[in-house]
Structures are given as structure tokens and as C-alpha cells.
Amino acid sequence: MKPFRFIAHQSSIRSTASFCALRPAAFSLAHFQNYPSPSSTSTSLSSHHNLLLHSNRNRTLTTSRHLNRAKVLTKKRAAAADDDMTTPATTLKGQPLDRPTLDAMLRRRLFFTPAFEIYGGVAGLFDYGPPGCALQANIVDLWRKHFILEEDMLELDCTVLTPHEVLKTSGHVDKFADWMCKDPKNGDILRADHFVEDVLEARLRGDKEARGEKVEEEDDPKKKAKRKQKTIAVKLDDALVQEYNEVLAKIDNYDGKELGELIKKYDLRNPATAEQPSPPVAFNLMFQTAIGPSSNTKGYLRPETAQGQFLNFAKLLNFNMEQMPFASASIGRSYRNEIAPRGGLLRVREFLMAEIEHFVDPEGGKKHSRFVEVEDIELTLLDRHTQLSGKTDVRKMKIGDAVKNKVVDNETLGYFLARIHLFLSKIGVDMTKVRFRQHMANEMAHYAADCWDAELFTSSGWIECVGCADRSAYDLTVHAKKTGAPLLVRERREKPLVIDEWQVEVDKKKFGPQFKKDGRAVEGALMATTQEQREKLAKQLTDNGELELEVAGVADGKVKISKDLVKIEFRQRIENTREYTPNVIEPSFGIGRILYSLIEHCYWNRASADGGDEARGVLSFPPTVAPTKVLIVPLSSNAQFKPFIKQISQKLRKFGISARVDDSSATIGKRYSRNDELGTPLGITIDFQTVQDNTITLRDRDSTKQVRGDEDTIIAAIQTLVDGSKEWKDVAATLPAFESQEVEVAQR
């Protein structure tokens, strides 16, 4: 999913995940729906978000000096993307993954459903049903334990409503946008890059048909039908095919003007009307609102959770007894007004994020005290140098070696990459379908030191689910400059430091009355000036008796300050206390994307026991994250079973284990089967032997094997399976096997 394209190349915004609406890497012709190959040069999410503005200084490939090199790289990336597509998505058991069948099962079992469906629904909005809610809650609970509790993080729950000035300072108001165009005939709003992408791909599919080549089918049935209508078998010139592929390979790098030029150059028309859309215009992706009845205070629904953490930095530092380093964390909903959301849960307008802001001293190489604990963990890495060579070959490397060899910039960043790896493994993600892709230079903001995405392979290709970025000191710096708030750390030096510098001294008695409500902003901008700037300002005071200072949001952006209000002199001072603005390492998780990818990774089909064609879906969630841990199944509706159902349910609830009773009239095999689709890992059967000796059977979802034991023994075994301390093979080795019920299950 590409949640947005920034409308300016000058980077000034943080990256996020989310998943959620996190942004994958850009892609070439043979991509999965709209999901890109990692070998592209376009923006990926960080995360969510990660999502970084293109920096002019980093987009050197688009300059004329590098044009030839860009063409070569584009061809290589396009070829690499085609190679990457040769591996189709598979189920947990290696079967071809049928996306429509899986989606139908998820909706039938109410994992999720389109929001407001009886009113026709709204694109990009989904409701989670009981199993979806439980799965999400369990993932979040494990995330909180794995990160917040394990790392002693400081958790915040900040408001969704965010004032205009905050997001103006962060860069979201100006840069958080996509390009859209409008069909002049029917008024349809089209996301410009998607429109160009879809029409060019349709032409390339038509070219393949005309050449007698195989055309790959779409997984999405709605998209398949739509694209089939607009595919016409027309052979294109080889040069034009190459040109189309080059455009698609770098589709995320075009701004609005360039997209408009492509639409005109190739005469791209909306298949629904045969009309050429209007020139692209910027569309800000934030939901705007008015705070309060007067409508004087403009605000937005937050596009990420991180801004609240940055603004509360000074209070968090104080709460942490002024100790560095430390991390804050936030779990909450974010919002992005996508122009044309598609891809199910992978691109939505409202989504859950979990973000960490780890504040670290920039001096000393950004070491991490616990790095030694993870240095031998092996990660699958796709570094930027490999991508620039036009390849997607990954390499396995211990994170300790990756940091030592500067593949990963520093220990703290490497530590969190390893912790992300461990978390994904813990919740049941197929680790053979995980890689960490490094952002290339033109994907990162000019202030970022390094950035990696944890990408998960799905039926939609490689999807960025977690972004992990070293954001340097950008966020704290811009907010401090705007507000004058001291978002910095003060530490006592072991040895005093003698410093010769330009110092600013403000006459506060005169300064306040002169600038009134703008005084704090003006003073903050003055104090945030560099030594070089102060030297120039001092010369202005000497020569002109006043200085001119740029202050955003005050007057016309420039303020004149007379010499009776301020002094700027070159002095020597002895510094006993060091002041610095911390750097930030930011892991950003898109919970919705992780959840959906996990579902695909855990899904498989159990063959029909009678040899028929009907296969039954199974979701092999680990017990720790499964929505419901235990299914309680009475053999029949016999009244003798009811006391046992009640007693077992109460005991499981006492231990915090979720259980569901299925006493419907369906056969026991069908009851097991539909709960296999819900991912329930364990099943308790109550039969007539239970009435006689108080023993019950325990069934394993994946193997369908059963063991039998007394009630307390079985419940104790369930506890160990749910908390992850034992696996089914351990339980099966200590309890007697039970076969009778399995015969009935196999014959269902």
C-alpha cells in the first residue's frame, strides 16, 4: 500500500508504519496488484509509519548529470522485480494461496467486515468482529510485554485530535499529501499515480496477449473483473514497452507535474469514460476538523501517534529522573484520508499503530547496553547496495556483524531490528517470509542516518509492516525551535569545558512588551540560531542598530529586533553542564498489516478425509495469539454434560484462558472444522466417559491428535500450551492418546 506521496521533494516529515497505512516499496510491471518490489527507489513507509519525504539532495538520480545511470538502474530494477514475482504466495503447508477463498472465510467467520455495509460501505473502513478483535488484542498484549515491559518503556496515550500548529511544524500540513486528478465526464476522483500505473499495466497486458504470452491473473476478483474489461490485445513497439516498464519502475518518484506530463504524453484515459483526467492536484491526507464551537481552532485527526511523544519529551525525561537513554511508546489509532484505498486490510483510512521513540545521546556511537544479548541473532537483510545493483538477493547476517561492518548504522538501531525479528517470530509469523529492507538514499529524509523496513511476503507481494529509522534529532529540534520549549537534556560534565562562542542575551523586561503573544516564538527562534548565524546577526546589530530574524508564523515571517532588546557578543564561558538534543530511534508498527500478514502465514487447507475435492481451511495461530484458546464440545445435547461444561468453563476463565462452547446440533467433526477456521488451537470433548470418571479429551488443531486425562490434568496442560512453555508434542508425550473421537472427526 502506498498511503501517500509527499508533494514536495524537500524532506521534512517523519516516517511511520502502519501498516494500517504503511507504505511498501515501489514496483515494476509484474507487481502484485499495487504492491511493489523492494528493488525500487520509491518511498517505503518507515512507518508508517516508513514514510519519509524525498530530499532534493538525495534525489540525485533524477538530475541530468545522473540520467544515464538512472536509466541503467531502472532497467535492472524492473528485471529484478520480474524475477521477484516468480515466487507465488503459498499457505503454511506450501499450497498455492487462494486469496479470494481466504478472504471469504475471514468474512464468513467475522474476522472483519466492511464498515457500514448495509448502507453500502465506505472504502478503506473495516470493522473487526469477535475473532479479529481478540487476535488484535492478543498481538497488542504481546507487543506491550515484549517491548514496553521488557525494555522499561514509558507508555503514553495521547489525544487523536491534534492542533494545526503541531502538524504544521512537523511538516504534515505542507507535505503529507497525494496527487489526485478528476474525470471531467463522471467526476470520479482518481489517485494520479495509481491511474497512470493501472492504465500502463493494462496496455502491457494487452501487448502480452497480442504476442501470445501468458498474462498473470489478479488475486482480487473485483480488480480482475475491472481490469479484464479494459485490457485490449494490441502489440506495442519494443521501445514503448521498455519505456512503460521504466515509468512503472519509478512510479512513486514522480510529482504532480510529472504525472500530468505522463498522462498527456501517453494519452492516458479513464477506461470508464474514455476521457483524459484533469491535471493532478495535491490532496492532503489528513482529516481536518474544527476544535470547539467557534471553529477558530483548526485541527486534524492525527496521521501518526509519535507527535504526542515528542511534545511530552521534557516531562518524560523528568519522570525518568533525568536519566538517558530511555524510550517512550504509544499504541493507538491513526487516520489517513486515502484517495483510493484498496488491498483490504493492507490500506485503510483508520488503523492501529504501535510506535516507540527511543531517545539516545548522539555522542558515543549510539551504543546500546543490551546489544550483546542480541548480537548473534541472524536476520535476513536486503541492503541498499544490493538494490542499487538491480538485485533483490538477500543475505543472512548476524546483527552483530551487520553493525560491525556498518551495514546497519549503529547498535541501538541494530538492537531494535533484532527485537522486531524476535517479536514477529513470537506471534507466529513465518520467518522464511520476512526480510529487512534498507531504505535507499532517495527514500530517506536528509536528516535520517539509516532506515530499515521489516517486510512480510503475502499474496500482495512484499508488504512493509514495521519501519525502524534513526531519525537523528529532527523532531525535537523543529518543535523546540517553533515553541521555544527546551526539548533537550542537561548533564553535568566530569571536567569543565571552556568554550568561545557567540552568546545571545535578551532583555526580557523590554522583549515581552515589544512582541506580546509572539515573544516566546521570537525568543525561541533567536536562541535556536547557530554560531554562524549569530555572528552575522551581531554584525547587523553593529552596522544597523537592529537585526532581521526569520520567525515562522509571526508577522510576515520576518521580525526586526533593535539593539536595546538584545545583545549578541563573542564571549568565553566555562561549561559545567552539557546540553544536547537527543537523537531518536523509531520502530513503528502497523498492527493491521501485521495481523493480516500473520493470517496469511498461518493459513492452510486440510484435505477432505474422504478424498473429495472439498478442502477445509485452518488457521494455525500459536496459542499465545489465537483469538480463542479452547473449544469446549459436548458429544451431544445430553443434559448430563451441562454441569461439566459449566465447571470446565469456569476453571478456564479463572486462569484467564478464553474458551468457547459449541453445543450446536452439528456433528462433532463439523464443529471442530469451523473452529479450525477460527484458529482455535485446542478442543475439549465431553462424552459419556466424562460422566463416569471425570476424564476429558484434548484435541490438537493442527495434527487432530487427541489425548485423554482427568479434568485438572488437562487444564494444567492447556495452561502450559497457552503460555508457550510447552508444545503439543510435550503434552502428547505425557498423556495417553485417545483415538475414538478421531475416527468420527475423520468421517465428518
Q: How much is the average pLDDT of 592-613?
A: 86
pLDDT at 218 over 90: no
Which one of 243, 263, 284 terminates a domain? 284
Please write the tens of the pLDDT for every residue from 391-419: 888 999 999 999 999 999 999 999 999 99
What confidence tier does 746 reach under pLDDT thresholds 50, 70, 90? very low
Q: Do both 314 and 459 map to the same domain?
A: yes
Could you tell me if 328 and 427 lie in one domain?
yes
- Transcribe 18-80 into DSSP letters: ------PPP--TT-BTTBPPTTS-S--B-----B-PPPGGG-GGGSGGGHHHHHHHHHHHHHH
**φ, ψ dihedrals at 520, nearest 5°:** -65, -40
Same domain, 425 and 307: yes
pLDDT of residue 124: 94
Residues 389 and 430 in one domain: yes
In-domain check, residue 113: yes
Whether residues 438 and 576 share a domain: the answer is no
685: domain CATH number is: 3.40.50.800
334 and 407 belong to one structural domain: yes
pLDDT tens-place string over residues 707-725: 999 999 999 999 999 999 9
Of 579, 603, 588, 574, the C-alpha closest to 677 is 603
What whole-number distance in Å separates Cα of residue 198 and Cα of residue 246? 14
Stronger pLDDT, 312 or 519, i.e. the higher one:
312
Q: Give me the pLDDT at residue 474, please.
A: 93
Q: How does residue 217 score in pLDDT terms, banded at 50, 70 and 90?
A: low
Number of domain units in the chain? 4
Phi–psi pair at 168, nearest 5 degrees: -70, -45
Whether residue 325 has a cis bond before it, omega within 30° of 0: yes
Whole-number Å distance between alpha carbons of 167 and 307: 8
Residue span of the structural domain in which 198 resides: 177-284
* Tens-digit pLDDT profile for residues 12-37: 344 433 333 333 333 232 222 333 33
Q: Assess if residue 465 is contained within a domain.
A: yes
Element (H, E) at 181: strand 177-182
3 state DSSP class of 451: strand
Residues 696 and 720 reside in one and the same domain: yes
Q: Do 530 and 463 fall into the same domain?
A: no
* pLDDT, position 294: 80
Q: pLDDT tens digits for 164-208?
A: 999 999 888 888 888 999 999 998 889 999 899 999 999 999 999
516 inside domain: yes
Domain holding 140: CATH number?
Answer: 3.30.930.10
The verdict on 294 and 236 lying in the same domain is: no
Residues 78 and 193 placed together within one structural domain of the fold: no
How do residues 620-634 score in pLDDT, each as one tens digit? 999 999 999 999 999
Structure letter (DSSP) for residue 252: G
Give domain status of residue 727, yes or no.
yes
Q: Is 684 left (phi over 0), alpha (psi -120 to 50) or beta?
A: beta
Please tell me whether residues 639 and 714 are part of one structural domain: yes
Instruction: Identify whether 37 is part of a domain.
Output: no
Asked if residue 544 lies in contact with residue 569, where contact means CB atoms within 8 angstroms, the answer is no
CATH classification at residue 235: 3.30.40.230
Inter-CA distances, 141 with 146, 249, 556, 607, Å: 9, 39, 49, 34
Q: Is residue 407 part of a domain?
A: yes
Largest CA distance in the chain: 103
Q: Is residue 249 in a domain?
A: yes
Task: Transcribe 563-593 into DSSP letters.
Answer: TTTEEEEEEEEEEEEEEEPPEEEEEEEEHHH
Task: Give yes or no: residues 294 and 391 share one domain.
Answer: yes
Q: pLDDT-derived band of residue 216, with 50, 70 and 90 as boundaries?
A: low
Mean pLDDT value across residues 665-689: 95
- Let me know if residue 445 belongs to a domain: yes
Please give the average per-residue pLDDT across 432-445, as a whole number. Answer: 89
Task: Give the CA count within 13 Å in the CB-facing half-sphere of 604.
Answer: 15
Cell of 258: 510529472
